[in-house]
């Protein structure tokens, strides 16, 4: 009876979906999807993303998405980074006092998976970090950017934790304190880059804006679009690099907190943190 009901409800959902699609495809709404063009705003973004003939409007980045994320709507992304920062701070506040203590025994380096897995991991961790850096630093040229690169780079410490054990990771300086330092450097860098052109403008005595990248009509100053002949798109490469640091370190903190042995957590929760102080 139960399985019969479930089959009927599943079939009815599929039938309704196909019927709605048939209705739309036959012009039931007065138009058919998808629309042939894009909106005027999208034309403008695509037209000005990399257009040396309009120097007052262009971002000098061939990647229209990164142009929007870090230039046209840079303030959005700054607050998005803030939300991410606050979520991880909230997680750390929930897990306060809970941390893996570094083991000094020799056995620390013998636990974990088999030597085959460990050797493969040593090679692939280097490759993962290289790919992540490539994703992040080419964010203004190809699909990708600071966040995607950071998320890819955080796989490396996760692999270390799973394959070598969390004690090995803490022993190789991948601990909460160091990651917080890297994360703070990244966030400070994002903040400073947002103010970079304004600071340069104040020094030179010309008008400039927060989150400015290329020269504008009333603020004829900006960061150089290319460096030694290769395109860097002004502030975009700096934003991507610092966001890469912040996101990679933030995810590493999450993985470290989630991999604390459960017995140790219960000891701290029940023992009133006596052994901590």
Partner 1 sequence: MSIDVNVFLFSLMIYTIIMNIGISLYAIFQRPNIIKKIIALTILGDSANVLAIIVGYRAWPSPNRAPIPPVLTNLHPTGEDIQMFTQVAVDPLPQALVLTAVVIGLAVTVFLVFLALQLYRLYGTLDVRKITKLRG
- Give me the least distance between CB of 182 and partner 1, in Å please: 18
37-45, 128-136, 162-170, 171-179 -> range binding partner 1 (CB under 8 A): 37-45
268: nearest Cα among 276, 259, 260: 276
- Tell me how far apart the alpha carbons of residues 129 and 102 are, in angstroms, rounded to a whole number: 25
User: Is residue 67 involved in binding partner 1 (CB under 8 A)?
Assistant: yes
- Tell me how far apart the alpha carbons of residues 98 and 33 are, in angstroms, rounded to a whole number: 53
User: Is residue 36 involved in binding partner 1 (CB under 8 A)?
Assistant: yes
Cα-Cα end-to-end distance for the chain: 60
- Tell me how far apart the alpha carbons of residues 188 and 139 are, in angstroms, rounded to a whole number: 20
Q: Are 270 and 263 in contact (CB under 8 A)?
A: no
Length of the chain: 277
Handedness of CA 203, 209, 211, 213 (dihedral sign): negative
Angle, helices 235-258 vs 146-153, to 10°: value is 30
Choice between 68 and 174, CB closer to partner 1 = 68
User: Is residue 180 involved in binding partner 1 (CB under 8 A)?
Assistant: no
Per-residue string for binding with partner 1, 186-225, x by CB under 8 A?
Answer: ----------------------------------------
Tell me the site size for partner 1, rule CB under 8 A: 62
Among 88, 136, 153, 236, binds partner 1 (CB under 8 A): 88
User: Is residue 64 involved in binding partner 1 (CB under 8 A)?
Assistant: yes
User: Is residue 76 involved in binding partner 1 (CB under 8 A)?
Assistant: yes
**Residue 57 in tokens:** 């409007």
Contact residues toward partner 1 (CB under 8 A) are 13, 16-18, 20-22, 24-27, 32-39, 41-43, 45-47, 49-53, 62-65, 67-69, 73, 76-77, 80-81, 83-84, 86-88, 90-91, 94-95, 142-143, 145, 147, 231, 254, 257-258, 265-266, 269
């Amino acid at each position: 009876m139960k399985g019969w009901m479930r089959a009927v409800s599943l079939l009815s959902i599929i039938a309704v979906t196909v019927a709605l699609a048939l209705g739309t495809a036959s012009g039931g709404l007065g138009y058919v999807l998808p629309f042939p063009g894009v909106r005027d705003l999208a034309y403008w973004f695509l037209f000005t993303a990399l257009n040396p003939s309009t120097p007052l409007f262009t971002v000098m980045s061939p990647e229209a998405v990164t142009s929007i994320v870090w230039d046209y709507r840079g303030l959005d992304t700054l607050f998005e980074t803030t939300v991410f920062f606050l979520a991880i701070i909230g997680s750390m506040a929930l897990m306060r006092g809970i941390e893996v203590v570094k083991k000094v025994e020799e056995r620390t380096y013998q636990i974990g998976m088999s030597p085959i897995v460990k050797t493969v991991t040593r090679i692939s961790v280097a490759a993962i970090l290289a790919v992540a850096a490539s994703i992040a630093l080419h964010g203004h040229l190809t699909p990708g950017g600071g966040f995607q690169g950071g998320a890819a780079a955080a796989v490396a410490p996760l692999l270390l934790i799973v394959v070598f054990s969390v004690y090995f990771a803490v022993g190789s300086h991948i601990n909460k304190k160091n990651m917080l330092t890297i994360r703070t450097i990244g966030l400070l860098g994002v903040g400073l880059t947002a103010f970079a052109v304004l600071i340069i403008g104040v020094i030179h005595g010309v008008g400039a804006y927060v989150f400015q990248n290329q020269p504008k009509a009333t603020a004829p100053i900006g960061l150089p679009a290319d460096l030694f002949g290769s395109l860097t798109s002004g502030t975009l490469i700096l934003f991507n690099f610092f966001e890469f640091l912040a996101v990679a370190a933030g995810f590493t903190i999450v993985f470290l907190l989630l991999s604390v042995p459960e017995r140790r957590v219960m000891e701290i929760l029940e023992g009133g943190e006596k052994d901590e102080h």
